[in-house]
Structure formats: C-alpha cells, structure tokens
C-alpha cells in the first residue's frame, strides 16, 4: 500500500504514517540521520558562503533591497532537512552545521552560526506549534512568510529604512518575502527529489 503527501509524492503507507503521525522515537537522532544532516549542512555552507559575500555587496548603497533577493537562501538547508527527514529540530541542526562550516569563510566569524540559527528558527517554529505531529507543505510557507516579514523589521535600523519612502520600504519587504517563499519552494522540490532517489528513507 502507498500514501500520498501534500505535493503528490508517493510513500509506502507505513512510512507515510511515520511522517505524519506522532512517533515515540521522533526525538532520536540515529547515526544515519546525523550523517544526512551533516551532508546537508556542508552543502548548505557551500551555497551560503558565496551568497553571504554577494549579499553584503548588494546591500551596500541605495539599492540595498537587491541583497534581499538572496535572503531566502538562508532558509534553504533547513527547509530541505525538515521536508526530507521530517524529524524535530533537524532544521536547526543543519543550520548549526552549515554555520560552523562557514566560520572560516564568511568574514563574520561565529556570528555566521547565530545568523543561520536565526533563519532556521522560522523553518522550525511552525512545526513546533503542532509539536512536529503534522508535516503539511503549507507550514513550510508559513515559516517563509514569517521570516520575510520579521527580517526587514528586525533590520530596520541597520538598513535605515525609516529614512526611505513608503514605496522603497514596501519593495524591501516584498523582495524579502518573495525570496523566502521562492527558496522554500525550491527546498521542497529538492527534498522531494532526494526522497524519490532514496535519500532519507526510513528502513
């Protein structure tokens, strides 16, 4: 028998139940799971390290909103981990690993770890609210939209958005939200393809 998830990917019925329902073992981190998280974290760092430098260049000057086009990339590793593994806290774990790998290359030292964890929290929180018992696709997008709204507010003073016009502020928010939603959609797509290739399957 098979089950189908919210995006049409087909899983064995037993796996579908494990992915959707509560499991007494869902807080366990077996070796295979940790190795998968490590691989995702390293791959995420490979993407984020150059993106970090590029976004820094783009956010300097009057068109700082352009750098927000890359903001969603910080959600990508955690979205892939949560979508693929569907276990509590794997989003934060992958972000932690990616941040540690980035430390020598980011130019920001260990603050890269905190930055990664900050973004990853938005991918994890929607599932925390349902105690990781439901893995609906739409919850990924709730986290993405929340990140796209909260980040411009938290960085308001840094980008001096108060000195800009309403149109610029709206554009800044819009670019950030679109970036976060787009990266989340990409993460879901990549995770589903990895799943179909046999990565992350429970045996």
Establish if 11 belongs to a structural domain.
no
Backbone conformation region of residue 184, classed left if phi is above 0, alpha if psi is from -120 to 50, else beta: alpha
Cα separation, 193 vs 63, whole angstroms: 36
d(CA 11, CA 173): 37
- 39 is in which domain, residue-wise? 29-196
Q: Is there a domain that residue 202 lies in?
A: no
Tens of pLDDT, residue by residue, the chain (203 residues): 334 443 334 444 434 444 444 455 666 778 899 999 999 999 999 999 999 888 888 877 677 888 899 999 999 999 999 999 999 999 999 999 999 999 988 777 889 999 999 999 999 999 999 999 999 999 999 999 999 999 999 999 888 888 889 999 999 999 999 999 999 999 999 999 999 998 876 54
How far apart are the C-alpha atoms of 141 and 126, rounded to whole Å?
9
In a domain, residue 79? The reply is: yes
64: in domain: yes
CA–CA distance, 50 with 112 (Å, rounded to integer): 13
Structural domain includes residue 4: no
Q: Is the residue at 6 inside a domain?
A: no
The answer to the question of residue 149 being in a domain is yes
52 belongs to a structural domain: yes
Beta bridge partners of 12: 2
Number of domains in the chain: 1
Number of H helices, E strands in the chain: 7, 2
Total Cβ atoms within 10 A of residue 24: 6
Q: Cα(109)–Cα(202) distance, rounded to whole angstroms?
A: 36
Strands (E), 115-163: none
């Amino acid at each position: 028998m098979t089950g189908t998830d919210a995006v049409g990917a087909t899983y064995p019925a037993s796996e579908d139940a494990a992915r959707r329902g509560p499991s007494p073992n869902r807080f366990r981190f077996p070796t295979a799971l940790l190795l998968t998280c490590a691989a995702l974290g390293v791959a995420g760092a490979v993407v984020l390290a150059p993106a970090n430098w590029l976004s820094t260049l783009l956010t300097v000057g009057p068109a700082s909103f352009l750098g927000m086009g890359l903001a969603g990339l910080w959600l990508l590793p955690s979205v892939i981990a949560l979508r693929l593994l569907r276990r509590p806290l794997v989003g934060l774990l992958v972000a932690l690993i990616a941040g540690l790998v980035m430390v020598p290359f980011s130019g920001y030292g260990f603050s890269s770890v905190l930055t990664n964890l900050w973004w990853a929290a938005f991918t994890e929180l929607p599932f925390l609210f349902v105690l990781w018992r439901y893995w609906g696709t739409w919850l990924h997008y709730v986290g993405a939209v929340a990140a796209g709204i909260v980040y411009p507010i938290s960085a308001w003073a840094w980008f001096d958005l108060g000195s800009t016009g309403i149109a610029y502020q709206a554009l800044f928010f819009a670019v950030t939200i679109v970036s976060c939603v787009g990266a989340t959609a990409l993460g879901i797509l990549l995770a589903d393809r990895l799943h179909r290739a046999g990565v992350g399957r429970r045996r």
